[in-house]
């Protein structure tokens, strides 16, 4: 029991004791022919669960207490104890609290209303009962005028038949009139239940329509997606769907960089550029994320972590679906430190990244239905990513030299065709390592391979982003420099040669350079650079010919 409820609880005990002193126990004159029907009607009406929202149970036992009001204050006193035996109230404190609420409400209303006669006294009893009940309940929950009006109108429907009961002399007619009031309450219950079910059906249809829209949209994305596209394309589209269709204000997609043990931020929707940059620049380890993924918070490929995992005593049960009663149940409301993460996996079922979703437009925590949709999306994304990675691997194997990981002979000719088609201005440098056969003969092929790897790494680390280096074959390399003439290329190459001495002082190259101003046929340009490298070798090696 929280502090506010505990304060109300003690106030109700005190006021209950004070009100009891007004009850004239010495004048008790109980007629059992009324007592049994009274208890029966009160018990039935008290257990009619009429809900406007999930935690807004409407007052239904007013039928029985209106009956007891007409019979007299002692009957209200006895009738109050019926509420103590309400169904599905397990705790003693809970039963006592319900009893105190209704005891105080109806005894106080009756004491005031008995000062008047006839239909006015019934009207006052019903009106005051609603007001006092609202005052007590609204100390714990926010006031809702629609609920007040709905309940009050129900209370007022009891006036006509209660008044006829008051002026009737025949027992059978009296019982019939009270039964009519009970039937009105049951009708009231059915109408509200029907309204809630209708609203639930509308919500379900809306959700189904949304799911169909999401499925269709993602299906179209997959049709457009080519394995040649970057994986960021499909991730960006998923972020867009979650943001626009599932209505999460902020969506962030991250992938794991296992070599650095860090989380790499890939794409987002809903964040400002400044906020996204701050997140990108903040280092987060993979271990930190994995520690959040507790199995107790797992549902399919999703993890919902209430209160950022800090509330260890809080057990959150996912709802199966959205319904009209959800919005006012406190445990359903999204809190600012709630976390919703959906994992991305590879074909070995290892987590390789995740999607984090924050601030749902509905203000509600996710249902199983929503998590099913998110899981389907991420599973499709994972498959698409895996296919993309495999495509990249195949291309990588086809285009890369196995030893040095530089682009290979095949990739060189493919790029030359593309550059020629685009009319790019390039210069080509052909490197032929001097005396490499002798090096292998003296030190062995394993040492030779190590030298080739070190040289290749040096080349890769020192070229510009828009330039390329290839292993042409054996001890031969080719550079393609973009948008520079061969004179400028020569200056760059000299700097390369100076750095190779740090690997082995005996390493030298015979180099030939040609540029696109000499021919528009780029294969011929490569042949020209090759011939000049051969010329350098003939002229004594360790030199550049242009």
Instruction: Mark whether 450 and 323 lie in a shared domain.
Output: no
Closest CA to 254 of 296, 285, 228: 285
Instruction: Mark whether 377 and 404 lie in a shared domain.
Output: no
In a domain, 202, yes or no: no
CATH number for the domain harbouring residue 241: 3.30.450.40
Residue after which a domain boundary falls, among 197, 215, 246: 197
Sign of CA dihedral 447, 451, 457, 461: positive
Q: How confident is the model at residue 53 (pLDDT cuts 50, 70, 90)?
A: low
DSSP states along 477-520 = EEEEEET--HHHHHHHHHHHHHHHTTT-TT--EEEEEEETTS-S
Residue 164 confidence (pLDDT):
93
Cβ atoms of 292 and 340 within 8 Å: the answer is: no
Q: What is the mean pLDDT of residues 410-435?
A: 91
In a domain, 206, yes or no: no
Q: Which domain holds residue 519?
A: 400-545
CATH number for the domain harbouring residue 461: 3.30.70.270
Instruction: Mark whether 254 and 170 lie in a shared domain.
Output: no
Residue after which a domain boundary falls, among 344, 370, 391: 391
Q: Which two tokens stand for residue 313?
A: 């005593």
In a domain, 467, yes or no: yes
Residue 228 confidence (pLDDT):
47
* The pTM of the whole model exceeds 0.95: no
Q: What is the mean pLDDT of residues 48-62?
A: 74
Higher-pLDDT residue of 385, 337? 337
Instruction: Mark whether 440 and 537 lie in a shared domain.
Output: yes
Residue 533 pLDDT > 90, yes or no? yes
Report the mean per-residue pLDDT for the chain. 84
Q: How confident is the model at residue 160 (pLDDT cuts 50, 70, 90)?
A: very high
Number of domains in the chain: 3
Instruction: Mark whether 296 and 246 lie in a shared domain.
Output: yes
Residue 319 confidence (pLDDT):
54
pLDDT digits (tens, 9 = 90+) for 467-514: 999 999 889 999 999 999 999 999 999 888 888 888 887 889 999 999
Instruction: Mark whether 61 and 157 lie in a shared domain.
Output: yes
In a domain, 479, yes or no: yes
Instruction: Mark whether 178 and 251 lie in a shared domain.
Output: no
Instruction: Mark whether 405 and 333 lie in a shared domain.
Output: no
In a domain, 278, yes or no: yes
Identify the top-confidence range among 125-139, 151-165, 311-325, 381-395: 151-165
Instruction: Mark whether 163 and 259 lie in a shared domain.
Output: no
Name 52's Cβ contacts closer than 8 Å, sequence gap at least 6. Answer: 58, 144, 146, 147, 150, 192, 196
Closest CA to 47 of 35, 58, 61: 61
In a domain, 212, yes or no: no
Instruction: Mark whether 53 and 146 lie in a shared domain.
Output: yes
Q: How far are the Cα atoms of 227, 405, 423 from residue 453, in angstroms, in the given order?
A: 30, 8, 32
Distance CA 471, CA 524 (A): 18
Instruction: Mark whether 405 and 294 lie in a shared domain.
Output: no
The 8-class DSSP code of residue 59 comes to P
Residue after which a domain boundary falls, among 391, 411, 430: 391
Name 368's Cβ contacts closer than 8 Å, sequence gap at least 6. Answer: 299, 318, 319, 320, 321
In a domain, 208, yes or no: no
Residue 36 pLDDT > 50, yes or no? yes
pLDDT digits (tens, 9 = 90+) for 504-523: 878 899 999 999 999 989 99
Instruction: Mark whether 39 and 146 lie in a shared domain.
Output: yes
Q: What is the mean pLDDT of residues 5-25?
A: 87
In a domain, 209, yes or no: no
Residue 144 confidence (pLDDT):
76
């Amino acid at each position: 029991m929280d502090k506010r409820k505990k304060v109300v609880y003690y106030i109700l005990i005190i006021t209950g004791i004070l009100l009891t002193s007004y009850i004239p126990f010495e004048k008790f004159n109980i007629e059992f022919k009324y007592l049994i029907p009274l208890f029966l009607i009160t018990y039935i009406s008290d257990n009619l669960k009429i809900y406007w929202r999930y935690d807004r149970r409407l007052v239904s036992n007013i039928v029985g207490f209106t009956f007891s009001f007409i019979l007299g204050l002692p009957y209200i006193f006895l009738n109050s104890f019926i509420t103590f035996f309400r169904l599905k109230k397990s705790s003693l404190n809970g039963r006592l609290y319900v009893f105190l609420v209704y005891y105080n409400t109806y005894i106080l209303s009756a004491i005031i209303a008995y000062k008047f006669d006839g239909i006015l006294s019934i009207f006052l009893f019903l009106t005051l009962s609603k007001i006092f009940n609202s005052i007590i309940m609204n100390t714990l929950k926010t006031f809702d005028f629609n609920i007040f009006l709905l309940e009050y109108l129900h209370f007022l429907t009891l006036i006509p038949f209660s008044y006829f009961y008051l002026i009737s002399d025949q027992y059978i007619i009296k019982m019939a009139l009270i039964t009519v009031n009970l039937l009105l309450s049951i009708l009231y219950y059915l109408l509200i239940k029907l309204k809630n079910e209708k609203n639930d059906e509308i919500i379900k249809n809306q959700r189904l329509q949304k799911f169909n829209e999401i499925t269709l949209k993602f299906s179209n994305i997959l049709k457009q997606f080519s394995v040649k596209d970057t994986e960021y394309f499909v991730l960006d589209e998923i972020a867009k769907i979650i943001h626009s269709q599932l209505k999460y204000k902020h969506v962030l997609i991250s992938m794991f960089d296992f070599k650095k043990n860090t989380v790499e931020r890939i794409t987002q929707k809903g964040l400002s550029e400044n906020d996204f940059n701050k997140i990108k620049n903040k280092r987060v380890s993979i271990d930190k994320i994995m520690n959040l993924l507790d199995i107790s918070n797992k549902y399919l490929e999703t993890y919902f972590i209430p209160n950022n995992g800090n509330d260890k005593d809080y057990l959150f049960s996912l709802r199966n679906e959205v319904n009209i009663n959800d919005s006012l149940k406190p445990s359903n409301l999204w809190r600012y430190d709630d976390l919703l993460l959906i994992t991305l996996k590879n074909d070995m079922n290892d987590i390789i990244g995740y999607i984090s979703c924050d601030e749902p437009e509905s203000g509600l925590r996710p249902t199983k239905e929503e998590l099913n949709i998110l899981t389907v999306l991420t599973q499709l994304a994972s498959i698409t990513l895996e296919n993309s990675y495999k495509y990249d691997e195949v291309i990588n194997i086809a285009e890369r030299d196995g030893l040095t990981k530089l682009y290979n002979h095949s990739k060189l000719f493919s790029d030359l065709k593309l550059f020629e088609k685009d009319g790019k201005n390039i210069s080509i440098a052909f490197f032929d390592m001097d005396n490499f056969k002798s090096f292998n003969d003296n030190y062995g092929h394993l040492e030779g391979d190590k030298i080739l790897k070190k040289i290749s790494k040096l080349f890769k680390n020192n070229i510009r982003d828009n330039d390329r280096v290839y292993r042409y074959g054996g001890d031969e390399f080719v550079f393609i420099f973009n948008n520079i003439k061969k004179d400028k290329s020569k200056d760059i190459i000299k700097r390369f040669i100076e750095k190779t001495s740090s690997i082995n002082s005996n390493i030298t190259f015979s180099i030939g350079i040609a540029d696109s101003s000499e021919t528009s046929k780029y294969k011929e340009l490569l042949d020209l650079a090759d011939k000049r490298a051969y010329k350098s070798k003939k002229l004594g090696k360790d030199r550049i010919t242009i």
